[in-house]
A and B are shown apart, each in its own frame.
Chain A
Amino acid sequence: DQQVKQNSPSLSVQEGRISILNCDYTNSMFDYFLWYKKYPAEGPTFLISISSIKDKNEDGRFTVFLNKSAKHLSLHIVPSQPGDSAVYFCAAANDYKLSFGAGTTVTVRA
């Protein structure tokens, strides 16, 4: 049962432009949402999170938006840099457990 879905397996963006990654969830009990970045053969690295009481959280080039009514969150990366090329996972938490999406592979073109 996939409770967190990332429907775009890949995204290609030009350096300097905005990257927008999307994520949908089905469980209305989720109250904490996160984005992770992962390079091959490494563990995921935490990027940014948002509580369900907010609709936006910003940290440098990364902004996460939450639309609870639509059960949708997105990650904006502005401007995109070559080092941003990686797999990005969204995750949603209910109590102690995090459920992850399948990931979106981002490629930043020079």
Chain B
Amino acid sequence: SQTIHQWPATLVQPVGSPLSLECTVEGTSNPNLYWYRQAAGRGLQLLFYSVGIGQISSEVPQNLSASRPQDRQFILSSKKLLLSDSGFYLCAQSGGTHSPLHFGNGTRLTVT
């Protein structure tokens, strides 16, 4: 079965600093990959998704970006963090349409 690795589990960063969150997937090939964010007391917001290497779709305009340099690697980045970027970031993968998403354990980001 597939395994999703996300790190770090928690991160505290000052405003204006850069960000790089990494997600790797094991046990599957050519997965669809996703980045979601859960802000405090709110639902899951889709940020980016990717159906293949180098293919990134952005759902929400913001100061974040995503990249997929390898089939099973998905990276979320920012050049300068804002206070509003604080939240719980989740990486997920699926095998295609009509397949459930499976999530990693997330990264709790606090921007101070």
Tell me, yes or no, whether A99 is within 8 Å of chain B by CB. Answer: yes
Minimal Cβ-Cβ distance residue in A for B6: A43
Residues on B with beta carbons closer than 8 Å to the beta carbon of A93: 97-98
Task: Give the size range of A's interface with the partner.
Answer: 20 to 34
**Cβ-neighbour of A89 out of B44, B98, B108 (below 8 A):** B44
- Known pairs A43-B92, A91-B101, A99-B46. 6 more at Cβ < 8 A? A6-B43, A34-B101, A43-B90, A97-B59, A100-B36, A102-B42
Q: CB-nearest residue of chain A relative to B104?
A: A43
Interface residue ranges of A29-68 to B (CB < 8 Å): 31-32, 34, 41-46, 49, 51
Contact B46 A98 (CB under 8 A): yes
**Interfacial residues, chain A to chain B (CB-CB below 8 A):** 4, 6, 31-32, 34, 41-46, 49, 51, 89, 91, 93, 95-103
With a CB–CB cut-off of 8 A, which chain B residues contact A45? 103
Q: Chain B interface residue count: which class?
A: 20 to 34
Interface check B74, CB cutoff 8 A:
no
B108 touches A41 (CB 8 A): yes
B44 x A49 contact (CB < 8 A): no
Does B35 sit at the interface, judged by CB under 8 A? Answer: no
Given the known inter-chain contacts A32-B97, A51-B98, please indicate yes or no for A44 contacting B105, CB distance below 8 A: no
- The answer to whether B97 and A43 have CB atoms under 8 Å apart is no
Contact A43 B103 (CB under 8 A): yes
- B106 and A97 contacting across the interface, CB-CB below 8 Å: no
Q: In the assembled complex, which residues on chain B have CB atoms less than 8 Å from the CB atom of A51?
A: 98
Asked if B44 and A100 sit within 8 Å, CB to CB, the answer is: yes
Q: How far is the CB of B88 from chain A (nearest CB, A)?
A: 8
